[in-house]
Structure 1
Amino acid sequence: MNMFIPLSVPNLKGNELKYVSEAIESEWVSTGGEFINKFEKSIADYLGVKSAVACQSGTAGLHLALRVLGVGENDEVIVPTLTFIAAVNPVTYMGANPVFMDCDDSLCMDMEKVKMFCETSCEFVNGNLVNKITGRKVKAILIVHVFGNMANLEVAIDIAQKYNLKVIEDATEALGTYYTEGKYNGKYAGTIGDMGIYSFNGNKIITTGGGGMLVSNDINLLDKAKYLSTQAKDDAVNFIHNDIGYNYRMTNLQAAVGLAQLEQLETFIEIKKRNFHLYKDQIADIMGLTLLNFNTDIRPNYWFYSLYIKAEEYGHNKQELIELLSKNNIQTRPIWGLIHLQKPYQICQTFKIEKALLYSDNILNIPCSSNLSTSDVLRVVTILKKGQKGRD
């Protein structure tokens, strides 16, 4: 039996054990300790932002961002339908309403359709963008940088400035991705909007086991987020709380792992880049399969690889290929079920969703860990070739 090739697992071969041991020896294992401060500063320095706030998850970070940016009950937030549901659930935590947008060929939100929605379905009244169908105020655009690609922030920021909208960047999949040309040349995903959020879940490019980070160049926003993430303590000695807070702070043990992971981030990106191009070269001659490219105006982090399947040419559809690879001990996954089709969100407004339907039906994510070997990649490709029409 061939060894199992997982989809995406951590690479823990750096200083993780050393730093965690130091944290344990210090006896600071919970939500206080120097590793949290060091991790926050190291992330901020890497990204070139003023500061950062560590939290328990990317989802918690999104919740905090929406709250400190003033999104409230009965407001609306423009969101993508092609993403993991955790990107949208925090909108409902706030009592707000998502409006679902299509993706473009980058798999990220189609900003031209966002622009069209604002121009045709809304009106700008007294400094507020108002949805003509619902009568509700649109307060923010929540943008997800899908699989390490990067959405069109130039258009997004122009829209936001024109209509007085907040921009929240869900960069949970895009730590290390940055623009290489254009107005925001050199700027990292997550650092251009009002607030950016990262995730350190076990399958992300770096991990803390579970955890997240908020970044911004607005210190006041980050101070409020940190205050809320630690149960809104106004007087920690006498237990005075003047607001409703959350238990959202990252632990020192998690931060110790994260600091060691961050030291290896650029190495991980280089490995993932190498494997992406190896896959791409090997898959190029398989009829019916295409490995989707990343945008040409960015340095991506190559987090996830997206295999587009034309079943009529290849000979197997997405589900059949998942099963074929699984039988050969290779883990894959389909892209997410579109959120506007999920039971809790079927009543929500959508706008011209077309490409997301096509990509959702035909994309498969293939193994992409930063510890994936060349032989692993070639073994995956061998099975893909065996599955081609006429070669079963």
Structure 2
Amino acid sequence: MKFFLSPPHMSGKELDYIKEVFESNYIAPLGEFVNRFEESIKAYTKTPNALALNSATAALHLALRVAGVKQNDTVLASSCTFIASVAPIKYLGAKPIFIDCDESLNLDVNLLKLALKTSPKKPKALILTHLYGNASKIDEILQICKENDLILIEDAAEALGSFYKGKALGTFGEFGVYSFNGNKIITTSGGGMLISPDKTKLEKARFYSTQARENCLHYEHLDYGYNYRLSNVLGAIGVAQMEVLEERVLKKRQIYEWYVEFLGDELSFVPELDDERANRWLSVAFLGLDKNELFAYEKKDFCVQKKIALDPKISRLIEDLKNLGIESRPLWKAMHMQKVFEGESAYLNGNSELFFSKGICLPSATAMSKDDVKEISTLILKSLRA
């Protein structure tokens, strides 16, 4: 049997809803199911405004533009993340300032303060990633943003179904973003959602997402926009997936606990924050991680990069699992380590490099049983002990 990292898991209702779409012939962008999908996100997250889009990357792009980010502006961003979290900064001709992570894999609050204190130009916004569905220290970060007049954009692409103090991740900032890519906790095959408490800003994003067409009989344009809306077909899939979201979250959390049970003596795991309910989108583990190595850089060296490579034991484990039909992968390689962002500003403490070196993302499919996780864990231990 082959085990994938995080494959789609259909509820069984998707085809019924897609059939309704085809019967209505509203298969192009917009339609009843796009509206229903937005309403389901609003109901689940308790956000007042939602905009269904063709990707979370598009949602971040729109959020930045509506936030007023322009060419040569600076935008703070989590460095330990996937490139789609920060690429939209470049779309607008702005410059990223990368912030390293703390022990939770998420943005380091002290480095954020340092960046705001020492950056030669006042940053316009912060893109905060909740990595692998785990909450950032959002209370502190939100306060810092308020004190510094900094627009907070939550990259909750991996964190739908995660809550902090009973509040959905993605709903703390001026904008929040979710992803429905094929590997996410629920999927529309491809898609995203932009949310905001500010109706005016959300409607501006909606305007841009449909080519910035003015409200005229003909096609009139006073500004430029994008073709970013979600199709009604994919909206139908999203409606069906939202009906099982909570089941998927509970199963992801169970899978994580099973890995801790079977591998906790050999590998280490990232605990939740107090008052957090993480969706555990991917179960992430570490081999030989010495917590004394965290925060390795002295303050005077906060812009130094060690360029740590992937641990050979992790490389071998990933290859061994691949040969057995089991998909796994390293953690995200931080953005400040990527050639494409060479020369960009970064405030570092060494953590994301260390986590990349020692970490592995384990198969987290919600269709797996406890016996499946035990089998995978047994093979992991066999590889590590070989």
TM tier relative to shorter chain: over 0.9
Alignment of structure 1 residues 107-256 onto 2, 5 Å: 107-119=105-117, 121=118, 131-132=119-120, 136-179=121-164, 185-235=165-215, 237-256=217-236
Tell me the equivalent position of 1:294.
Answer: 272
User: Could you say if the C-alpha distance between residues 311 and 107 of structure 1 is closer, same or farther in structure 2, counting changes exceeding 3 Å?
Assistant: closer
Please give the alpha-carbon distance, in whole angstroms, between the structure 2 residues aligned to 1:381 and 1:176.
26
Q: Helix, strand or coil: the match of 1:331?
A: coil
Matched-pair contact (CA < 8 Å) for 2:188–2:237? yes
Tell me the equivalent position of 1:366.
Answer: 362
Q: Helix, strand or coil: the match of 2:124?
A: strand
Match of residue 325, structure 1, among 321, 327, 331: 321
Matched-pair contact (CA < 8 Å) for 1:305–1:365? yes
Shift of 1:291: 2.8
Matched-pair contact (CA < 8 Å) for 1:311–1:317? no
TM-score by length of 1: 0.91
User: Could you say if the C-alpha distance between residues 311 and 41 of structure 1 is closer, same or farther in structure 2, counting changes exceeding 3 Å?
Assistant: closer
Q: Superposition RMSD on alpha carbons, in Å?
A: 1.4
Match of residue 306, structure 1, among 284, 287, 307: 284
Q: Helix, strand or coil: the match of 1:245?
A: coil
Unpaired segments ≥5 residues, structure 2: 291-310
Deviates more, 1:193-202 or 1:322-331: 322-331
Please give the alpha-carbon distance, in whole angstroms, between the structure 2 residues aligned to 1:189 and 1:311.
28
Matched-pair contact (CA < 8 Å) for 1:176–1:300? yes
Tell me the equivalent position of 1:270.
Answer: 250
Please give the alpha-carbon distance, in whole angstroms, between the structure 1 residues aligned to 2:99 and 2:349.
6
Matched-pair contact (CA < 8 Å) for 2:11–2:244? no
Tell me the equivalent position of 2:300.
Answer: none
Shift of 1:292: 2.6
The superposition leaves residues 272-292 of structure 1 with CA deviations (integer Å, 9 ceiling, x where unpaired) of 111111110111233xx2233
Report sequence identity in percent.
Answer: 39
Please give the alpha-carbon distance, in whole angstroms, between the structure 2 residues aligned to 1:70 and 1:170.
18
User: Could you say if the C-alpha distance between residues 61 and 350 of structure 1 is closer, same or farther in structure 2, counting changes exceeding 3 Å?
Assistant: same
Shift of 1:370: 1.1
Q: Helix, strand or coil: the match of 2:368?
A: coil
Shift of 1:360: 1.0
TM-score by length of 2: 0.92
Residue type at the aligned position of 1:167: L
Please give the alpha-carbon distance, in whole angstroms, between the structure 2 residues aligned to 1:294 and 1:32.
38
1:44 aligns with 2:29: no
1:87 aligns with 2:65: no
Matched-pair contact (CA < 8 Å) for 1:316–1:388? no
Q: Helix, strand or coil: the match of 1:86?
A: helix
Count of residue pairs the alignment pairs up: 366
Unpaired segments ≥5 residues, structure 1: 122-130, 180-184
Shift of 1:311: 8.3
Please give the alpha-carbon distance, in whole angstroms, between the structure 1 residues aligned to 2:199 and 2:249.
29
